[in-house]
Amino acid sequence: MSNQVCVIGIYVPDISKAIDFYTNTLGFEIYKQYGPKIVSLVHGELPIVLEENENAIYNQDNKISGVALGLRSEDIFKTVQLLKEKDVTFIVDEPTDCPPGKYVSFRDPFGNVLEYIQFTNF
């Protein structure tokens, strides 16, 4: 049995809104549209798949989810500026120290938690 992660799936209540956020705000590109409710994003060896699901809900009460998607930043300060220009909803809006370097934390339009991390301690 292998325990290697092979895909990251993000369930969303609105695929159009998800595509807009992940492409126009975060800069991902669409790799393939598998149907009206599922799309994969260009992301190297580990694909990210957005899937509209009727059971996915908007996290309107801002509870922290059990999983956060971490994205690499080469310049965390520049990344924060770009996200602020896109009116992203931040949890931590100033680069903050963490064991591997610095991070910021924010939400997608549905309340899913994402982080940008600049690795400086490796």
Burial of 43 (0-12, 13-18, 19+ CB in 10 A): middle
Tens-digit pLDDT profile for residues 101-119: 999 999 999 989 999 999 9
Q: pTM of the prediction?
A: 0.86
Tens-digit pLDDT profile for residues 35-53: 999 999 998 888 899 999 9
Find where tokens 């669409």 sit.
30
